[in-house]
Amino acid sequence: MLETVGLAVVLFLIINTLSARVRVDGFSMLPTLHDGEFVLVNKLAYHTGTPARGDIIVFQSTTTKNLDLIKRVIGLPGDHIVIGDGRVSVNGKTLTEPYIAAEPDYSGLWDVPKDTLFVLGDNRNDSSDSHAWGFLPIKNVVGKALLIYWPPKEWAAVDHIQIVVTAP
């Protein structure tokens, strides 16, 4: 029995080192992710690589302690972001965004500093994200969302749409 408990503890520690499980609370990522879904997160994804435009990431909030959020990466360090007339542009290229709930009804422009990301929710008009609170320090990133595993009828890989733009 002691061996079984010991093995269970070791497996638990390994699994929690490599992954996280996050509950989606709210509607900021509709239609991609829904309120109440549980997502498996790869915590090692960015230890060997860096976030890419289009990745859906989990990160520690910059405004609320002990709160993890989930958003889509839109801008990388050095990118110039323009939002206006219902469009998002990165480095002068308008993004094709089939994953959003509706075009953004706000505007602004941002230059993404070193060691930060610009993230937006897919439900652009109902999301607290970089357009509202600023840039996300890369050090706050927990990992890359991989899989919706609950509820069972929603089981699916998380859709990371590659966003390709030219360098500034």
Name which of 44, 47, 29 is nearest 158 in CA terms: 29
pLDDT in tens, 96-146: 898 999 999 999 999 999 999 999 999 999 999 999 999 999 999 999 999
Count of domains observed in the chain: 1
Q: What's the CATH code of the domain at 80?
A: 2.10.109.10
Domain assignment present for 11: yes
What pLDDT does residue 111 have?
A: 98
Domain assignment present for 163: no
Domain assignment present for 75: yes
Domain assignment present for 165: no
Active site residues: 28, 71
Domain assignment present for 168: no
> For residue 32, what are the domain limits?
2-157
Q: pTM value? A: 0.87
Residue 7's pLDDT band (cuts 50, 70, 90):
confident
